[in-house]
Amino acid sequence: MDIPKAVLDEGNSDKLLGLGNRHVLGIVEEYANLCRPEKISVITDSKEDINYVKELAIKWGEEMPLAMQGHTVHFDGYHDQGRDRENTKVLVSDGQTLGKAINTADREKCLEEISGLLRNIMAGKEMLVRFFCLAPVKSRFSICALQLTDSAYVAHSEDILYRAGYEEFRRLGGSSNFFHFVHSSGELENGISKNISKRRIYMDLEGNRVFTINCQYAGNSVGLKKLALRLAIKKSHLENWLCEHMLIIGVRPEGKNRTTYFTGAFPSACGKTSTAMIPGQTIVGDDIAYLMAGNDGRAYAANAEQGIFGIIEEVNPSDDPLIYKALTTPREMIFSNVLIADKNPYWLGMGRDIPVQGRNYAGNWELGNKDATGKEILPAHRNARYTIRLGELENVDQNLHNPDGVPVSGIIYGGRDSDTSPPVLESFGWPHGVFIGAALESETTAATLGQTGVREHNPMANLDFLVIPLGTYIENHLKFGLLLDKPPRIFATNYFLKENGEFLNRRADKKAWLAWMEARVHNECNAIETPIGLIPRFEDLKELFKMLFNREFAEKDYERQFSIRAKKLLERLDRIEGIYRAETNVPEVFKQHIGQQRRRLLEAVEKHKKEVILPSDFE
């Protein structure tokens, strides 16, 4: 390789050459000569190499040790606290179009721009060369991933979140069938990325690569997370499987010796991680799932990751006991953008009093501090996070690393909706379930830069990550169902229904909705048919609430939560129809479902002479 020995010494060079892969060598050489790091360290799967990265994160000040053993904290810049939609772009060639929902840019121009921005960007820094595997190793799900970064925090995060992949690259031989990622925090000021105006997150599908610079927030900088998700969506499209923004859980019903696996798609801050961590169930994954058809005609899912990068706000011992226990006991874990006082972390909604001063994402903080615009600075950011291995959790599923994946019996689509959808319902079948997922809406939160509280369309909770036209994406889901003799049942949930500003159900109630879905998969309870799908009967929920919580579920609460709000539902249909009217190649069956649901709702309003219809009216 044409890299000076002062930059890449013999030991590190041998690690690269030992892979026997000229494509890897070419990538490292190209970006070494473009980014001009002072030193290159090649990290294998060895404990020694991985510990080197952890120590660097502390040495460089990207992480600071906390009072509890294994805990560290990382701070992103004040203006680097969420996914940057505006500067996250899919690169397309002349004449290529991906639809209005996807933020695209000219490939040739962007590659020229990013090359200019990368030139000398690592001067005086150390480049870390990392090897990971997306999904279980030695599996049909496995995808090799190469990461180049000058951030030890990014590299350490990936150690927690992904399976080691140096040996997987050996198994590749000389193949170029892998993803690669180039990241730089850019010029630093007080340890924070300085040139936020030059933040770029570019996905080059043709090159199976992602560039991300001048950023530290993991959602923008950790290449193997949502950036690799885009590349895998393209790969799945070409290979007839599904890459989804989904959790995977094993549901274990009370008093029954079985585990039923579900996947679920929830936009950020809509209950995804807390659903994955419901007490009594097992977790396979909380974020990204690969779904493939099995030889037995069933769908199988594998977790692309082995860890959690979870939102920490409102995690407390009452609502999320398993997560809270994990966050407050010794283990390797990274907090980000929380408040630190006396080397202890504090976050919003943790169920404890928060100190009035400390250090947070804005620097030294005390109660009442305001930013340059006059906005009050919260003690911890609403998008503050924790990074932890799934294997550290007591409820991890035994099949987390199963190369065959797990059989999927149900799929859940969950939005954030204060005034329209009931807490849980079942679709009429696979095509109708795809329609439900493709019509998913959510009220925006702090997980994405921009205004909060805005209702957005987010099909399958995956819109931010699509790299194929939306119509094609929906068609892929419809076709996937045809590959299966026994497709999973599809459900929808909404934990955020309100009246007069108050939530109509408790956070823990999601366990009852999950138990009902599991029972439906096994045909153990009936349901009520409504214009929008099948809803639970009161008697079944009453029994579940008594069994699970030893609590009476009042019929008046059932009616408030499961009434069909026809006017609101029709308004949403109009919004969804308008959105898809602007898209190309939308499957005809999807348009038919819009018309059919509108007709069913209008007929129900006409029959019952009211716009909010009680569940009992449909029995």
Nearest to 446 by CA among 378, 365, 506, 503: 378
Told to judge if 215 belongs to the known catalytic residues of this protein, a careful annotator would answer no
CB 181 within 8 A of CB 145: yes
How far apart are the C-alpha atoms of 413 and 408, rounded to whole Å? 14
Which parts of 402-454 are beta strand (E)? 406-415, 424-426, 441-443
> What token pair was written down for 268?
């950020």
Alpha helices by DSSP H, listed for 361-446, are 430-438
How far apart are the C-alpha atoms of 561 and 546, rounded to whole Å? 18
CB atoms within 10 A of CB 118: 20
How far apart are the C-alpha atoms of 388 and 371, rounded to whole Å? 31
Report the amino acid identity of residue 495: Y
How far the first Cα of the chain sits from its last, in Å, is 73
**Phi-psi region at 157: left, alpha or beta (left = phi > 0; alpha = psi -120 to 50):** alpha
CB 149 within 8 A of CB 63: no
How far apart are the C-alpha atoms of 231 and 229, rounded to whole Å? 6
How far apart are the C-alpha atoms of 69 and 51, rounded to whole Å? 15
β-strand partners of 370: 376
How far apart are the C-alpha atoms of 153 and 5, rounded to whole Å? 26
Nearest to 538 by CA among 519, 553, 521, 520: 553
Residue with tokens 């340890």: 191
Residue of 35, 243, 270, 525 with catalytic role: 270
Q: Which residues have a catalytic role annotated? A: 270
